[in-house]
Each structure stands twice: as C-alpha cells, then as structure tokens.
Chain A
C-alpha cells in the first residue's frame, strides 16, 4: 500500500527563491559609473544658438583645458558668452588670463577654446572674438559643429 501511495503523492518541495539582496548594489554601481563618466555641462547657455554641420569634424580631447565661448542671440542682439557669463569681446583676454592662472602648467599649454557659434552670426563679431583670443595667446581654437556623414 505504501509504495502505491507515494506514486500519486506529489512532493511539496517548493522552488528556492532567488536572493535579490545584491541587486540594488549592482544597479548602484552602474549608477555611480554613469555619474562619474558623463560630463555634466557646468555652464548654463544664456544665448540661443545652433552650431553648423560639418564633414571633417574631430572629437575634442581633454575637457579640463577647454574654454567655451558661445556666440548667439540674446533677445534681438548678438552676444558673446564666455563659460558662464556674457562678456564684452574686448574683455576676453583678461578672462582667458584669469582662467589660465587656475590651470596646471600642462593644461596651460593645451588650452583650447571651443567656439560654439550660431550659424547666422556675422563674421565681423566672430573675427573680433578671434582677434581677442589671438591677443591672449589662446591660439588653439575649435569651431564646434555637429557631424554629418558624406
């Protein structure tokens, strides 16, 4: 009788549940990774601009030694913004000097100015900014653009 019964009687062993206690830790690790890797843009862009598109663009390396200059519309007039605040083009050399003072010697030599200029901006203003950069010996410039494939 006994063996017969065991044939029909199903055992009540349940599937052991998976231990998910370490799952939050894993996700937190991914979260921290992203927080460190992504570069949060520090300055708020106060001017409105749209950069042109180009074919021959390259990636800009070394973000520590980059000064951003934005040229775009602020209301109805054209304005120049250096890193965080709107400046007069003639004050650029002084600002560059100030920024350069806070950099390491290695980065001072690598200092690059990234020009993010609106498509419709007049070259007169851009040339003025460039002339001022030249005066400040910030000779490496980058015409920021978005990439298009040929």
Chain B
C-alpha cells in the first residue's frame, strides 16, 4: 500500500504565468529607466592664467569681439547682430584667416545662460559649416562620414579659436 503511494508522480508546477511576470518586470524597467543620452556642446577651457604670464599681442583686425550685455543683446564688433548673422560673421572671419583669427567672447554677469548658449551654438555652427564644406570638397563626403583621422585633420585645418578671457586694447605699437 505504501509502495503504491511513492510511485505517484509529483504534479508539475504551472509556470505559464512566469512569462507574464517577467514581462511586467521588463516593461517596468523600460518605463522607469531614463535612457538619457547625454548631449551637449563640448568645450575645452584654457588653463588658469599664470601670475607672471605676459599677455600676447594680437592684431586688432584678427579679433572679433562678441559681446552679450545685460539685456541679452548680442553685439559683434559693436554692431547689433542676430545669432544667424553672428554665424555668418564668424564664418567669413575664419575662412579668411584660418589660423590667426580670434573670436573673443564676453558676457555680462546678468546675461541669461540661454543667450550665452545660443551664442556658443552659433559660433560652433560656423566652424561646423566650414569643416563640412572642406570635407565635401576634399574627401567627397560629409563631416559625419569622415574617419577619425580625417576629422582630426579637418579640426586642425579649421581650428576653433575662441577666447573667453578679457582682451585689453592697447595703443598701436
């Protein structure tokens, strides 16, 4: 009698719903985890100025002074400009004097970050256009399709010469 009981099969556990449960977990993770791909404008700052550093002389003609005042008004060499116009100005300056020009940025402490960011975006956009054009002409494809070596070459050909340190105007020497 006992022997007969042992021979009985163990009933199988019904695991049909495990799939549903794990699906729910999966969906929960998909919804809660923020797939935040961090994006932004990458910039390289200059190292802190040394105490005994001599200011460098730059030709006034090569410098473009971009200023933002307390009312978020953008001026470029004293002229009031829009962001689109600023892109054009920087573009023509960098095209004429590739390695010698300087874009000097000065922002009033009361400027909003939005205006400052749009200004940076406009300037970077000018360099991007130039590099894009050069890449199309010499490599036959857009900047995004370039290999890393080509990108480095392009970045060196059209360097971003942006200065945020205050520039003092001196007399003619």
What is A's interface to B at a CB cutoff of 8 Å? 20-21, 23-24, 27-28, 30-31, 34-35, 38-41, 51-52, 54-60, 63, 66, 71, 112, 114-115, 117-124, 126-127, 130, 133-135, 137, 139-147
Contact = CB atoms under 8 A, between A and B. Distances in A.
Contacts, number: 148
Nearest to A71: B113
Contact of B39 (A118, A120, A140, A146): A146
Interface of B: 15-16, 18-19, 21-23, 25-26, 29-30, 33-48, 68, 107-114, 116-118, 120-121, 124-125, 128
Contacts of A130: 45
Nearest to A139: B45
Given A57-B39, A123-B109, 20 more contacts: A21-B15, A24-B21, A31-B22, A31-B26, A35-B33, A38-B34, A38-B35, A39-B33, A52-B117, A55-B121, A56-B128, A58-B42, A59-B38, A59-B39, A63-B38, A122-B110, A133-B45, A134-B45, A144-B39, A145-B121
Interface of B is mostly: mixed
A34 B33 contact: yes
